[in-house]
Each structure stands twice: as structure tokens, then as C-alpha cells.
Structure 1
């Protein structure tokens, strides 16, 4: 028998074959190590550069800070982002860049790209939604640009990246484990944001893409819901509609919506239920070929306290209020009901979460 051109009948050749295999393994290890180090260096360099991003004023910030929304020329936003230099986020159809607005103020420029599927209709729909809404737990619009083929949104800058980054990346976890009280506070902020979209905004808005990567952290205790590119709005979105193309992210999409193509505010309620499971377990929305809702179903429907506590993110080391855990699991179970009509409204969810929290950790963000 021959192996790498050497006969295995000669015992001495085993040493040569072994050495060749060892060299191949070492080469692969070194190659992967080099790729990892290059990625880590680039990631840290982007973080350091965004922290040091100071300089001359690129945009007159007075109108932004006064709450007025204006249109921008492409050159203004290219200058503010230093020609789209510092990337701070990536979406399915867009890339987000840090922008300097002057006077120490920063913004985030979302660059929607047609080559990635970001159509002009989607862009204008998102602008239309953002112009209609205002809430302390929603990322606000400062301005936009539709110039020379570019589709740009100038958005409020939220400094601490996404909940997904904080919980699921090495860089985010280097800041320590997100505490139980912080997770409750974040859940309440996003519940309030969705309640506003469903019950206060006129017309009402269905977000359709509630997920941890679209939740931006002001700090470990407060968050804002972002990315309105998939939103639907209408005067009577509770009623039956014509089936639509399924939109959303794997693991978060309402099973009723998947089966019928009919979207409603209860689709956001379902996604919020998945988000609660993510905060409770510390796991991503998909576990292999199984969704987190399916993965946890047996445990979360078990009334045994030990089983419920067993669902907890191990990084919390049991540092949790069991009564609050019970409330969150109960809310998640209601939000994830197969029959969408049986799911609660977000107003009910806000009341359940806020009522179980300590008074000192439930203040709303200032408007």
C-alpha cells in the first residue's frame, strides 16, 4: 500500500508519513490562527478608532439636536462619515457607519444597498415609518439622503452596540455577564417600544424583525429598538389581510405568519417571546436545526421550579429572582402560543414585566 508516495510495507516510511501529516496539521493550525488574529486585530482597531473618532465639525448639528429632520446631500454625509470609513454595524441589506455631527455629537449613517436587496421602495417605506414615530425606546431618525443613487439614513447613534453582540460575542462578553436585573430592564424597554408601535403610533406599526441584533444598548440597563426596514403600517392591521411574502429572521418569525402569510401585531409578540427566551437562557434563537422556542418547549412548560431554574443562562450562576423568572417564562409561553389570537397584547406584557420588577430598576428613559 502506498501513502503520500511512500510504501507502507517499509516501517521506516511510517516516520516520514507521520512527519508529513504533522506538518499539514501544523500548517492548518497556523493558518486558522493567522485568520483569527487578523480578525481580532481588525475588530479591536475598529473599536479603538470609533472611540478616538474626533475632529472638525462635518455637519451643522443644530437642526439635528433640535429634533428637526432634514434631507442631506450625499457629500455632507460622506464628509461626516469620512467617506464611509468606520463601520459599526451590518444588516441584510445595509451597512451602518459612524458619523461625526460636530460639537461632540455623533450619528449613525445606514447605507441601504440595492445590490444587497435594499430597494428604493423599502428605503422610502422605512423613512415613512421613521417620520411618524417618536419614543425613547426607538432609535430616532435625524435625516436622510436620496442622492446620486445612494440611499442613506442618518440615525441616532446608540454607543454600545447590539444586545446580540453583548450576549453572544467574545468582545461583548469581555465586559462581564449581563446581569438578571439588566435583562429584565432591557425586556421592559423593548416591550414599551412595541406597545407604542402597536397602540400609540398612528397608523399602527408592525416591526416584523424584532431580534437581539436589532436591539441597541444605551447601557446595560436600557435599550432601543432599531431597523424599521421590514415594517408594515396600516389603519387596521389587526384584521385579516392578503397573505404577504414572509419576512423576518430565522428563529424569531411567528409560526402562524409562516403558515398563513398573514402578519399582525401578534407576530411581533411572538418574536418578543423568543427574545425573552434568549435573555433567560443566554442562547441564540436557533439551536442547530431547532428554534429556541422548540428547544425550550418542554422545560418552559414544566411547572417545576428546579426545571425552570435549569433553563437559566449558566453564566448568571443562579443569581436570579425566581419569582421574576417565573413571570418571564409565563409571558414567553403566552407570547409563543400557536394560536396568535390567544397571545396577549404588548400592553399586557408591559404591565406583567414592570409589576414584577423592583422600583429602583424600572424608570423609563427620558424623552
Structure 2
């Protein structure tokens, strides 16, 4: 039973290490690629940038033009370039997408074509006309004239109309393709075992397995095989081979050396000899490198780059983002460069990595006794026992402190009424007793169960927050007998009234529907849900519960009063031109507040909670215009583990409901992400989630119903963000413009049809935070670079 998981784990580690070979050629996948016929250089963008919410691909064309490769909201693990084409592997290994740079006009973004979507690939190679992917089992699949080969490979590389690879068994070189040069190269490597191999136009180089020597084979018309004397794996690391030249980086300092070039040698050999590079790539006579200093790109060697040039590309990632544990070291702050919770691993050096902890200083041997002679083993044993004693003492101390803490805090636990241990369900809810005697006993004991001053409900003093148990008469008095004049809205199970308690506190009181049409069990379930969750959840972006009331069939919940109402009202019903909501900075701030509240439910609440009814009317604004998420009446405990879901009938609000949840009845945290995505589109456009207005203006008019998702998303993806923005807000300028574009891009991701394609709430919070920071800065972080969104 354990053989398959162990094998899978070893295969995963093996393939990860294979993916991180740092030798690159015309067609090996990297995070940087050269498409030499059009003078295009592409790279995988870091997510730390405000322009990117994923590790998408961005490209440079001559004349300082920067273009984005569609789709712009998909992360890639590696790309590879050839003559006019480059391809990329979507993170996770599938699918492979390819772009043709020859047909792109100056104003175009590169449109993509899908090559494969059914198989998972760990590596990719693009040559002059061929595209091949290497699967996790070592099987190669090729397209566009790449031919076919039946064998298992450890790595593959593409040249000019030929492919080569190192066989998994025996580490011999095997080549194939439409060009005869592949057969020549295979024959010249026939007696050698290789640890790595990269191909150029008509040659290939790699490190010999037995001694690490750098070996080049193939044709030598331009001196591309003239390896520097004594070159070996210990001297050079990253390799890059073009059509008639070869380059390598020195292992010691990352500086580059090139040879060959023939008639082009003056350009090829005019490289920045003092610049340290992390990796280099080549195509045709072009060579480019990713610098160690700041991950910028420098290119040289052709008519496009007659002298070394720093390209105006945004920040690129230095290696593939992965969720696998790194075998050696992490790049510093690499998790900020990757989408999700991934990281970037540094390639392992030839030397053993340093230990996690320094070795202890040498200890003098214990003095000999009459019965024992000191030996080396005894010294080791003594140090081991000493270390064990120290660790044991620390563990015992921590255990004692933990015990004291639990004893101390146990007093608080015993004193308060707890509503956080049971997940409310319809089946579990018990109807209250309808006997008047039970009601009298409840009211008679109420004074022993709560402090009548009410301070404990609003402050975290003494023990933890606790919900007050109110009398129905108290709440009737606070609301003037539930006067219609005090009605301020409706929640998941009843009307909401503004009230004022005897101690002066302003509150919002939600009263369960008392009409005959409303089934008691539905009201009871919603009441138990909110009481159970809110009595244990405390966050600045959640509306706080003050107390509750249960008397006969009455069910009431008492909340903090939110002075500025619901976000929905400010967007759709109130006509207040001077409202703070009518600025992009404040709108993004409110979205960030709401996202933080939902992130708390998904990530930090134990157990996690799915809200199930995220919408603009459930985002309330307090006196300081801080947004808070409200109404947990439909909320449920989330599934255990990532990727889990709950099978249940769909519930929520039309226009905000996740189509995957509605269609398949599978509820996940990504259902809340969809609802928030609709809210983001509401905030950007000023339109309701579903509206009727033939003129496309805010309001409820005639005409067919329209969905803000169906209307806004295609315009955003076509690069027409400005055309969908709410006209009541002044057009965004400088940092605001970038912020709004970033938010619009993210909204498109949030409302994708399939939940697995949507970001997590943590990703959303990070990007909204970046957008808000752009609004607060006086100038943009990357103001010289402007992106338009591609049409997919």
C-alpha cells in the first residue's frame, strides 16, 4: 500500500530537480525566452508587480515596446522560444500554449493557441519549427514537425529542425527530427554519457557525466565548438547556444563568456563581461541574461541588439514557481514573486548545502575514571546526552507554561456562554419550549448569566467577548415597538431595525420573520447559524454581535450599528455626489476591507467558514467608512482540507451566486470568491449585479435583464477598462489608473466559471492591497510601462 505513494514522491522530487537544470539553449524551457527572427524577448512576470495578479508572460519588441501575451491571468512555470514562435507550460504542467510573434502588429498583444490540454509536462523545448514536451514519465510528445521518438528521457533540447535528449537509462544522447544534423550529433556523442545537454543551430553542448567536462559536438563553421581549455561543470554552470555561437556563465561569479559567432563574432562577443547573471538564453545570434542584481534582462549579439541593452521589461521571476520543498535554498522573498503560496528554489551548487544549525563547539573529553578509558564514542555520547537533557528541559518548561495558561484561561471559559462548538444544521436545531413556565425560568436565571451593564459585549475586557441575552421587552423599547420608521433593512431571516439601548448604545436589531408564511425551522436555522458563528468571531471587518433574544417563537440578534449603511445603497440608490464612496481610492479601500473580512472566515476561523451570500448589501460601512461583512445566516462550516467541497442545494442571491455551485451543487470557498468578484464589478461599473436598462446606465429601467458579469468582463478583456467605469466617479489618473486596471483584472479572475481557476481570498487581499497602495502614492511604481488587456 505504501509503494505507490513513495514512488510518486520520489518521482516528484526527481522531476523537480530535472526541471531546475540551469543549462539553456535555443529551445529549453526557462523563465526567459528569445524569439530571434522577430527580435522578441519574453519572460514570466513576478506577481509582486501591480500589473500582474499571476505569473503571466510579458514580451519586449524592438523600439521599447512591451506587450503582454494572452491570457494575462494565467500563471506559467516555463517558456521556450524558437524562430517566430514561443510556447509556455501553464503552472501545474498543463496545458501548453503557443504564440506566433511574426503576425503581431505593433499595437497587438500576442494571441495564443493551445497545443495540449490532456497531458502533464515537466519541461518544454521549442526549436526552429518543432515543439516538444517532456512528460513526468519521461515520454516525449512533439508537434509542428518535431517528429516522434519512442524512449524515456531525463531531459530534452531543441535545435534547428532537430531534437536531442538524454536517455533516462544509460544517459546516452539520442537525437531525431527532419534535419540530418541530429544524426551527426548523436553519432559524435555515441560513446559518452552526459549529465546535461543543450542544442544550438547545428551543434550541442553539455557536461560529461564521468568527469564534468564541457563537451561540444556538431558542426563548427563559426567556431561554436571551440570550448575554452579546461572548461568543466565546476567552472561553468548555465549554457546558452545560438545558431553559430555558444555562451556559458561562470560558476564562481555568474559572469558570462562566449565563443564562436563567425562573421557575427564582433556582435556575439560584445557581451557584458562584468555583469553576473542567474541564467542566460540564446536564439539565432541573440543572447540574453537575467541579472543577479535585480532580475533585469540584458541582451546582445544581433542587429536588434548591436550593443548590450537593458530591456524595459517589468520584474521577472528567476526560476519556476513551485509548491515542492526546495532541495537546497530558497530565493530571498521568492514567495512574493509567485502566485498562490508557491516559492522559487535556488539551483543546488556542486557543494553540499550548509547545515540548518551550526555544529556545536568541541567539548573537552570527560576525565578518565578508574573503570573506563575515555574514547571518541564516549565524548559523542556525552554531548548527545547533554543535548537531550537541554531539549527535554525546554520541553518540560513549555509544557508547564502551557498547563498554567490553560488553568488560568479555563476560568474565563467556564464563566461565559459559548456558541462556537457546534455547526448549526436544520436537523440539529431544536425548537424552543413553548411553555410559559420554561420562559419564566429562563428570565429568572438571566441575571446570573450576564452582566447587565453591557460593557462585556463591546469590549474585550477580562475574559473573551460574550453575547448578551436580552429580554424581548428591552428590544421592543429600543426600537419603539419595532416601528416601521426604525426599519433599516432586511437580513437572511428577517427585518433589521435601528435601536437605542438604555445605556446609550446604538444597535441594529434583526428580528426573525414572524409571518405565517415563514417556516419556524428556517428562521431557527438562520438564527442558530449567526449566533454560533458570530459569538466566536471577532474581526475589525466583520459586523460584531452584541447579543440575542430567545422568547417563545421570537428570535432576535443584536449587532453594532453601522452608521453609513450598506455599500449597495451608496452604489445604486443614494444620490450623494459628495459621498466618500465616489472616489476610486475609497472604493478600493472598501473592497480591501470586505476581502479581509472574508479572508478571515476562510483562512483564520477554526473551523473555516463559507459565507454563501457575499453581496454589496451585506457589506456595511461604519462611522469611519470602514467596510464590514455582515449576515452569516446562510453561512456554513467549510470542508476539511484544500480542494474539498460540500454537496448541498444552492442558496444565495441571484446575480451573485457561483454558477458552479448552482449547477453542480458543490459549495467551496471559491463560491464566496465569485460573489466578491461580482461586488468588485459593481464597484467598478456602478451597475447592479442584474439590472434592466436599455441605455446601459445605472438604474432599473426597461429592456432585457443584463448581468454585470456578462457586460463588463468582455470589455475588460478587450482592454476597454475605461469604457465600463462608473461615470459618477472622476476618471482615474496616475496611480489610480493602474490600481483600477489591476482591480478589473482580478475581478475577471474571480468570476471565472470554474472555481479552480479563481484566486484565493488571500491572493485577492494581496492584490487589493497593492491597488490601494498605488492610489495612495503620488506616482506609480512602474509608470513607464503601460499594458492593455488581451482578448482571449
TM-score class, shorter: 0.7 to 0.9
**Kindly tell me: are residues 347 and 240 of structure 1, through their superposed partners in 2, closer, same or farther at Cα, counting changes over 3 Å?**
closer
Structure-1 residue corresponding to 2:610? 206
8 Å Cα contact 2:739-2:774 kept in structure 1: no
Q: What CA distance in whole angstroms lies between the structure 1 residues aligned with 2:571 and 2:623?
A: 13
Q: CA, structure 1 residues 274+332, in 2 after alignment: closer, same or farther (shift >3 Å)?
A: same
Structure 2 partner of 1:327: 742
Higher relative contact order (CA 8 A, sep 6+): 1
Matching residue of 1:291: 707
Classify the secondary structure of the residue corresponding to 2:687.
coil
Deviation, 1:113, is: 1.3
- Compared CA separation, residues 237 and 166, structure 1 to 2 (3 A): farther
Contact 2:577 2:728 in 1 (8 A): no
Residue equivalent to 1:28: none
- 1:49-96 deviations in whole A, cap 9, x for unaligned? xxxxxxxxxx74333333431211211221222211211212353111
Instruction: Establish whether residue 63 from structure 1 lines up as the match of residue 456 from structure 2.
Output: yes
Match of 1:93 in 2: 493
Matched, 1:308 2:721: yes
Contact 2:673 2:758 in 1 (8 A): yes
Identify the structure with the greater helix proportion. Answer: 1
Alignment of 1:27-66 (within 5 A): 60-66=453-459
Deviations 1:108-147 (A, max 9, x none): 1100115345421221122111122110000011111111
Native 8 Å contact 2:732 2:740 kept in 1: no
CA deviation profile, 1:307-357 (whole Å, cap 9, x unmatched):
111111011131452100111011111111112112111111111111222
Pair 245,160 (structure 1): closer, same or farther in 2 beyond 3 Å:
same
Q: Provide the secondary structure at the position in 2 that maps to 1:146.
A: strand
Change (3 A) 1:132 1:280: same
Segments of 5+ residues of structure 2 without an aligned counterpart are: 1-451, 460-464, 693-704, 778-792
Which of 584, 594, 597 matches 1:193? Answer: 597
Q: Which whole-Å deviations, capped at 9, do the CAs of 1:174-202 have from their partners, x for residues lacking one? A: 74762111100000001100110000000
Q: CA RMSD in A?
A: 2.2
Q: CA deviation at 1:290?
A: 2.8
Q: Hey, what's the Cα distance between the residues in 1 that align with 2:775 and 2:722?
A: 24
What is the match of residue 264 of structure 1? 668
List alignment gaps of at least 5 residues for structure 1.
1-58, 363-367
Measure, in 2, the Cα distance between the counterparts of 1:220 and 1:247. Answer: 32
Deviations 1:256-283 (A, max 9, x none): 1111011111000011111110010010
Structure 2 vs 1, CA of residues 181 and 81 (structure 1 numbering), >3 Å: closer, same or farther?
Answer: same
SS where residue 155 of structure 1 aligns?
Answer: strand
Q: Distance in 2 between matches of 1:343 and 1:164?
A: 24
Could you tell me whether the CA contact under 8 Å between 1:256 and 1:338 is conserved in 2? yes
1:1-367 correspondence runs (5 A): 60-66=453-459, 67-85=465-483, 86-91=486-491, 93-113=493-513, 115=515, 116=518, 118-170=522-574, 175=579, 178-219=582-623, 221-234=625-638, 236=640, 238-241=642-645, 243-288=647-692, 289-302=705-718, 304=719, 307-320=720-733, 321-358=736-773
Q: Tell whether the 8 Å contact from 1:139 to 1:225 is kept in structure 2 after alignment.
A: yes
Q: Closer, same or farther in 2 for the Cα pair 1:359/1:221, shift >3 Å?
A: farther
Larger Rg: 2
Alpha carbons 2:564, 2:620 under 8 Å: kept: yes
SS at match of 1:84: coil
The whole-number CA distance in structure 1 between the counterparts of 2:768 and 2:683 is: 13
Three-state SS of the structure 1 residue aligned to 2:614 is coil
Check the 8 A contact 1:202/1:235 in 2, yes or no: no
Contact 1:182–1:220 (CA under 8 A) maintained in structure 2: no
Note closer, same or farther for the CA distance 1:221–1:161 as it changes in structure 2 (3 Å cut): closer
Q: In 2, are the aligned partners of 1:132 and 1:202 still within 8 Å (CA)?
A: no
Structure 2 CA distance for partners of 1:220 and 1:132, relative to 1, 3 Å: closer
Quick one: distance in 2 between partners of 1:176 and 1:356?
18
CA distance in 1, matches of 2:596, 2:580: 26
Q: Matches of 1:282 and 1:358 in 2, distance apart? A: 22
Query: CA separation of 1:315/1:359 partners in 2, compared to 1, >3 Å: closer, same or farther?
Result: closer
Paired residues, what number? Answer: 301
Check whether the contact 2:648–2:667 (CA below 8 A) recurs between aligned residues.
Answer: yes
Is the contact made by 1:237 and 1:265 (CA closer than 8 Å) also made in structure 2? no
Instruction: Give yes or no for contact 1:166–1:173 (8 Å, CA) kept in 2.
Output: no
How much does 1:361 deviate?
Answer: 5.8
Q: Distance in 1 between the 2:574 and 2:731 partners?
A: 21
